[in-house]
């Protein structure tokens, strides 16, 4: 910790934007080093999505009707975009718990005493979480290939899909940051981060065709930001998607995913930084 604080303290003053970027990278490096020294954080983060892949593929795969067929292989390709999106969004709970833990231990107070950009503490934390999410996503993709998932488009489209997933994960991490700053303990942050994630991920097109839901629930699912990213990834992967819908996000899922994610980042980053400043004031 002393190396990190010394690095920030001796940093020469300069352009505010440059200083903010530099400070954010220092904090991100600190969190990545901490993660590397606690490998169980990464390991446990991998177990849950792998379990979802195996359970949904082999337990529910033969009973799901996708595009008029119950072929398990078709459902596997339909499923994986939803599992990928669920994985990046569930990282929100860990981000919130980490920030709450830093607050609880007084680490935020130490950063507050340093001549650094106020938003850098949160930005650095979210960037470190993004790196961990990318690692988890890469391992999960290998597991998906083992259970039969395949893409049917070019490398550019596939990379674009993973880019949308990481952007959504980064956006939701700012929601977790706000929750972490708003509660008193890491346990409360974990609980608060999961309560709203379950309806967001399950009232969507991630695991079932939303056209089979009741009309009002289908409307909610089709306009869910989570659903937009899932549908965009299916298009970019060349995997089976949901039945045609008149909802704009389902007609233009790539654009909808980008717009939703950017709006979430702008709104919740603003709220989180404001909350951090008031807590540090």
> Rounded to whole angstroms, how far apart are CA atoms 27 and 163?
23
**Of residues 41 and 197, which shows the higher confidence score?**
197
Tens of pLDDT, residues 116-126: 777 788 888 88
Question: What per-residue confidence (pLDDT) applies to 281?
Answer: 54
pLDDT for 54 beyond 80: yes
pLDDT for 202 beyond 80: yes
Closest to 234 measured CA to CA, from 212, 209, 215: 209
> Rounded to whole angstroms, how far apart are CA atoms 130 and 171?
10
pLDDT for 107 beyond 90: no
Question: What per-residue confidence (pLDDT) applies to 13?
Answer: 53
DSSP letters, 115-160, are SS-TTHHHHHHHHHHHHHHHHHHHHHHHHHHHTT----S-HHHHHH
5 — pLDDT class (breaks 50, 70, 90): very low
Taking residues 130-141, report their average pLDDT: 90
- What percentage of the chain reaches a pLDDT higher than 70? 88
- Report yes or no: 155 and 72 within 8 Å, Cβ to Cβ: no
Tens of pLDDT, residues 222-257: 999 999 999 999 999 999 888 888 999 999 999 999
Buried b (16+ CB within 10 A) or exposed e, 200-230: bbebbbbbbbbeebeeeebeebbbbbbbbbb
Question: What per-residue confidence (pLDDT) applies to 229?
Answer: 97
Closest to 76 measured CA to CA, from 68, 90, 64: 64
Considering only 92-101, 102-111, 229-238, which range has the smallest mean pLDDT?
Answer: 102-111
User: Global pTM?
Assistant: 0.86
Question: What per-residue confidence (pLDDT) applies to 27?
Answer: 83
**Of residues 136 and 229, which shows the higher confidence score?**
229
165 — pLDDT class (breaks 50, 70, 90): very high
| Distance, C-alpha 19 to centroid of its chain | 26
CA-CA distances (angstroms) from residue 8 to 20, 69, 116, 273?
11, 58, 7, 19
Question: What per-residue confidence (pLDDT) applies to 35?
Answer: 76
Question: What per-residue confidence (pLDDT) applies to 65?
Answer: 67
pLDDT for 163 beyond 70: yes
Taking residues 257-278, report their average pLDDT: 92
> Rounded to whole angstroms, how far apart are CA atoms 74 and 63?
11
**Of residues 212 and 232, which shows the higher confidence score?**
232
Span between the terminal Cα atoms of the chain, in Å? 23
Domain boundaries, the chain: 16-280
Q: Which residues make beta-bridge pairs with 66?
A: 69
Cα-atom radius of gyration of the chain, to the nearest Å?
A: 20
pLDDT for 4 beyond 70: no
Taking residues 77-102, report their average pLDDT: 85
Taking residues 178-200, report their average pLDDT: 84
């Amino acid at each position: 910790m002393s190396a990190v604080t010394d690095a920030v303290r001796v940093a020469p003053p300069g352009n505010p934007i440059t200083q903010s970027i530099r400070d954010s990278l220092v904090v991100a490096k600190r969190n990545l080093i901490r993660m590397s020294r606690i490998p169980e954080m990464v390991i446990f983060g991998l177990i849950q999505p792998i379990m979802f892949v195996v359970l949904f593929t082999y337990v529910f795969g033969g009973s799901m009707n996708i595009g008029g067929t119950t072929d398990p292989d078709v459902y596997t390709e339909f499923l994986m975009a939803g599992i990928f999106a669920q994985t990046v969004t569930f990282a929100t709970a860990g981000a919130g718990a980490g920030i709450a833990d830093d607050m609880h231990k007084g680490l935020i107070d130490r950063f507050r005493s340093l001549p650094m950009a106020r938003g850098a503490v949160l930005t650095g934390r979210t960037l470190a979480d993004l790196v961990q999410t990318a690692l988890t996503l890469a391992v999960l993709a290998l597991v998906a290939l083992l259970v039969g998932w395949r893409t049917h488009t070019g490398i550019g489209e596939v990379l674009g899909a993973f880019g949308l997933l990481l952007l959504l994960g980064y956006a939701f991490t700012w929601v977790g940051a706000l929750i972490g700053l708003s509660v008193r303990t890491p346990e409360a942050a974990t609980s608060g981060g999961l309560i709203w994630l379950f309806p967001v991920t399950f009232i969507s097109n991630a695991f079932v065709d939303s056209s089979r839901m009741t009309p009002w629930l289908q409307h909610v699912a089709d306009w869910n930001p989570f659903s937009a990213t899932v549908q965009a990834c299916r298009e970019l992967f060349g995997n089976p998607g949901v039945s045609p819908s008149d909802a704009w996000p389902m007609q233009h899922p790539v654009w909808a995913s980008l717009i939703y994610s950017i709006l979430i980042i702008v709104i919740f980053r603003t709220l989180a930084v404001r909350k951090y400043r008031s807590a540090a004031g």
